[in-house]
Chains A and B, each alone.
Chain A
Amino acid sequence: MVVLALVTATTFWGGDDYFPFAPFKMYSGSMSLDGWAGSTRVEAVNEEGERFKLTEAVTGFRRAELEGQKSRFIEDPALLEYIAQAYENANPDKPEIVTVEIIERRYELKDGHQTGEVLEVVEAAYTRDGADA
């Protein structure tokens, strides 16, 4: 009963912070039918100049987590260093990363249809000191 009361209460007043009692808000935001629908990713450039995507599979850090903390990264791009560290911890044999970028691909919508207009925006970028990438 307590559990039920808590989950109901946090649905009304709480936020994600109160996990496991929290609003079930997955995909609950409204998306405008006109405007830009974004899809975020992280890309990295390594010492050898190769560019690749930093996915959940290679870092253990999810896209949704990146989006959840995106404002932090935009405010302080140096935090992207930690995503590079996660990659290097997980892949100690691979060449090290010099640059990390958050890129959002935005699709234009009009009346819910895609217009075909696509924009790529680098929202935050970080390059390690001493690297000239």
Chain B
Amino acid sequence: MSVRSAVNGFFFEPVPLGRVAAMRFLAGLYVWIEWWAYMPFIFGHRFVPGELYQPLFVGRVLPLPTPTYWLVTGTLIVMLAAAVPMMFGYRPKLFGWILFAAYFEWMVIANSYGKVDHASFGFMTLLLVLCLMPSHAKWGDREHLSERAGWGFKLVQIAVVLTYFLSAWAKFRYGGFDWANSGVFTWAIIRRGTVFSDWMLDFPWLLHVAQWGMIAFELLTPVVLFVYKWKRVQYAIVAFFYCFHLTVFLAIGISFLPHLVAMACFLPLERIDPKAILRRLKDRRRAEPPKAREPEPQFDA
């Protein structure tokens, strides 16, 4: 196998269109959940005076306006309105672009007050590539394969992996190579500990080991991309990632939800077909004898 075909095989690994429909749904669902359940502070920024707005580079280059009550509220409305048709596959490209633009502004509003988050990089990549994928994607479609969809999801997967891998780099850059020997987890738990993690403060060596584990984990994450031919191994690694985030969530209450949504594109979501599931449920209900009225089973359903 030549290098060229190996590279093409990696980037353009065909993916069933069913996954595109499923990811569009998940992305829209997340947008609907985020603003009230996950990051209510973004909507809360509508009350914050413009004097505390610290525009980012994009906000200065694009001359984005200083957020006001109605700018924040309007962005939210556009975002939620565009998410619905995209979720259900109606003109998903058109509404996908509107959603992407609105979500971008939403993220500018979120990150321009003195703190920049990094959990949504993969998700923003996902919103962008979903706009570039075929519009006729249907739930449960495992037959029609698309290299374009495969390429898009590969970019999202790379973005997800880079979020880990480059954060190891950031630790070296900002924390120095001593990061793993420092008291950073102690500090994190003092600030945001939970019943699941507060006890660990009494065992600093455990946190010390965990810090080394974290660096090793982040540096090793690219492996998940290279095992793409062995799907079971890949799914197992992705399952491990989800468990990792569950642990972090229990320990310090940070869940990286948008990142988790973007990561779902590793999984064979095309196997889920809500219509077929509904049909099966209905069939089963029909096949089951209504006990009170008809004692004999019916097989004609």
A contacts, CB < 8 Å to B:
3-4, 7-8, 11-12, 16-20, 22-33, 37, 39, 56-57, 59-62, 64-69, 79, 82-83, 85-87, 89-90, 107, 109, 111-114
Is B220 part of the contact surface with A, judged by Cβ < 8 Å? no
* Chain B interface helix/strand/loop/mixed: helix
What's the tally of chain B residues with a CB closer than 8 Å to chain A?
Answer: 62
Return the chain A residue nearest B108 by Cβ: A19
Q: Which of B38-46, B132-140, B292-300 lies on the face that meets chain A?
A: B38-46
Return the chain A residue nearest B214 by Cβ: A27
Q: How far apart are B102's CB and chain A's nearest CB, in angstroms?
A: 15
B47 close to A90 (CB less than 8 A) = yes
Cβ-defined partner of B175 (8 Å) among A7, A28, A39: A28
Q: How far apart are A52's CB and chain B's nearest CB, in angstroms?
A: 17
A-B contact count (CB 8 A): 177
Could you show 29 A-B contacts with beta carbons less than 8 Å apart?
Answer: A12-B173, A18-B58, A19-B56, A19-B58, A19-B116, A26-B117, A28-B171, A29-B175, A31-B187, A37-B187, A37-B190, A39-B190, A56-B44, A57-B44, A60-B44, A61-B52, A62-B113, A64-B114, A65-B115, A66-B114, A68-B54, A68-B114, A82-B52, A86-B47, A89-B49, A90-B47, A107-B190, A112-B204, A112-B208
Return the chain A residue nearest B45 by Cβ: A60
Q: Which of B20-28, B158-166, B282-290 lies on the face that meets chain A?
A: B158-166
Docked Cα-Cα span, A39 to B252, in Å, equals 14
A69 close to B114 (CB less than 8 A) = yes
Is B232 part of the contact surface with A, judged by Cβ < 8 Å? no
Cβ-defined partner of A111 (8 Å) among B124, B166, B204: B204
Per the 8 Å Cβ criterion, residues 104-158 of B in contact with A are 104, 107-108, 111, 113-118, 120-121, 124-125, 128, 155, 158
B52 close to A69 (CB less than 8 A) = yes
A60 close to B183 (CB less than 8 A) = no
